[in-house]
Chains A and B, each alone.
Chain A
């Protein structure tokens, strides 16, 4: 599996910060990856190597974990990540129309990042906010009770 690279001091800084906070034991691997992923937007190959050395865990097993969990990414992502819930409760109350509108307005297919690096569009399994479905999450902001016509206004809030 190809893992994107990132040549920057930021990688080292992010790994250091995460290890300072969580320590170097194996059971802290996921919290460490989570924090680095948040700091850099994804997990570049350099970060995985560094973490593997510091934790004395084979690189394969670090990559194994990094590629297993949906919230961790080994590919660079846009400045804003839109998560669309594709599970049944949102689907039956109008999720399909919202999904089509999202793809059309962003001109993106699932898992794609826009050429200007602004948006990444991903689908996700149920987020547990079904009572106000259909739902999307942009970065950390949750939008519920969505209809297709609300999409342009919401997208316009992000630069």
Chain B
């Protein structure tokens, strides 16, 4: 696996390109290869980062060194000095006096490495997912073979605990701890379940893994089963993911045929059987207890907790539920060790995180980067800037249960704890990036429409609250609201959080709170002035 140590960025705004940035890029690529550094240095173009006086710029992480203006002739020295010998090429640095403008943020990012580091996605889009040979060729099933023949279940759990892996299904719960809970239950029957109901708007990382690398999840589930003492597993794939289901079905057949599933796996006493359960269209079934209900053939409505699934889960038996991305981390951790895993990300959130980049940006798609990257870095490096050079207004993270993040928070490192401190949620890793043509009221309305549609109806605070919230937002958007509506909205947000039965209703109020905290003036403009500043809402119904 490629392990990235340095990241080199070349500015690619129109002025840089005019001054030969492409030539600099090409030469960098060639020199990096010549020095045999291409397995550890990642090279990319970056959009407009300011410093128009010193273009084209070459920025090198983790030192956050800024070089400029760089010519093709400078590249050789730069690569030899900085990347090969590891010391800053002082003569080529942009002068301190000029260190102003947008890249001032780089100083605070010294020591970080926002380069793509693919661990869970290392095979997606590389191997043929319908061919088990491809998987085996890329280290497949080695972690399982090693664990079964060389480690005890306790050793496996300890390694996962040491790695610091935290759940990627939204809550960030420590994975090793959860495995320990299930392992210590005394029961002849236990289950492991992969939660592949992925329905957070804007999230499709799990689909990419399932479609592109299904065997990695089979291997991870077998490892989890071995660790917690289960012999049967389910993967709950949302009904709309037909391709993922097909690929997974085929993968299970292949794994059975080769003996990675079934009886006496790797010639040991370990048996493991795996079933697919298709969802039928219900966001709430991603909530783990609703998911259990759904597998049992019932309406997908959450159960009361406690008892937790780890003690009373599927058919009343101790059950482990993990997200797809969480599980995809397991085989590489066991193969390379917890210490290796901890070399990525931050102390409290080790490893990488997969983000989906969407919205008004130049390049949409999916990236896997170390925990702790900032929104500004994502937009500049991976999204290649805002579409049409527009201004960044806000981002919506983590699907609907994430937060609306104003531009002022774009330098906050994206990891569980830093985000928690800033009062925002990382959620499922969707980054919906919006420009100033997006109206916060309209966006909140779309989000609340999602919640009122997907509310399962079990508890009334959520069932009625999400509907009322949508109605109030609709009133604001169409100019029918008064300032009092805003107080009611804030109260409703708090009530949804305090009174709802499960995470769906609890997080439904987040967008309400976010827009009133960060964008109050814009919301009030709809009411006080009867205009939508972004020009999206039709406030004509206003009664003046």
Contact = CB atoms under 8 A, between A and B. Distances in A.
Asked if the two chains touch in their complex, CB atoms less than 8 Å apart, one says: yes
A34 B297 contact: no
Given A30-B294, A130-B202, A130-B204, A69 B446 contact: no
B348 interface: no
Chain B interface extent, by class: 35 or more
Given A27-B296, A69-B280, A125 B359 contact: no
A41 interface: no
Given A89-B359, A126-B202, 13 more contacts: A30-B277, A34-B239, A65-B299, A68-B299, A86-B446, A87-B450, A88-B396, A88-B446, A92-B443, A126-B199, A130-B358, A131-B365, A137-B240
A61 B301 CA distance: 13
B180 interface: no
Given A34-B278, A131-B356, A125 B242 contact: no
B241 A88 contact: no
Given A68-B299, A71-B280, A128 B358 contact: no
Interface string A133-159: 100010010000000000000000000
A61 B242 CA distance: 27
Interface string B424-449: 00000010101000100001001101
Interface in A69-97: 69-72, 86-89, 91-93
Interface in A25-42: 25-31, 33-34
A92 B297 contact: no
A128 B209 CA distance: 13
Contacts of A140: 242
A129 B278 CA distance: 18
Contacts of A70: 280-282
A64 interface: yes
B310 interface: no
> Which one of A25, A30, A88, A137 has the highest number of Cβ atoms from chain B below 10 Å of its Cβ?
A88
A93 B360 contact: yes
A86 B451 CA distance: 12
B204 A129 contact: yes
Contacts of B360: 92-93
A108 interface: no
B438 A130 contact: no
Contact of B432 (A30, A68, A88): A88
B514 interface: no
Interface of A: 25-31, 33-34, 61, 64-65, 68-72, 86-89, 91-93, 124-133, 137, 140
B356 A91 contact: no
Contact of A89 (B283, B366, B430): B430
Nearest to B437: A92
Contacts of A125: 199, 201, 283, 450, 453-454
- A27, A28, A64 pick with most chain B CB within 10 angstroms: A27
Closest CB pairs A-B (n = 5): A70-B281, A69-B280, A71-B281, A87-B201, A29-B297
Interface in B344-401: 356, 358-360, 364-366, 396, 399-400
B68 interface: no
A113 to B, nearest CB: 18
A88 B403 CA distance: 13
B207 A128 contact: yes
Contacts of B443: 88, 91-92
Nearest to A72: B280
Nearest to A87: B201
B288 interface: no
A65 B281 CA distance: 11
B356 A65 contact: no
A122 B28 CA distance: 51
Contact of B297 (A27, A71, A137): A27
Contacts of B201: 87-89, 125-126, 130
Contacts of A72: 280-281
Given A69-B300, A88-B446, A126-B199, A27 B358 contact: no
B387 to A, nearest CB: 9
Nearest to A26: B297
Given A88-B396, A128-B241, A65 B282 contact: no
A69 B197 CA distance: 13
Interface in B237-267: 238-242
Most buried by A among B298, B447, B453: B298
A43 B160 CA distance: 46
Given A89-B359, A89-B430, A131-B364, A64 B281 contact: no
B446 A131 contact: no
Given A33-B280, A128-B240, A131-B364, A89 B202 contact: yes
A71 B297 CA distance: 15
Nearest to A67: B299
B241 A69 contact: no
B202 A71 contact: no
Interface string B97-139: 0000000000000000000000000000000000000000000
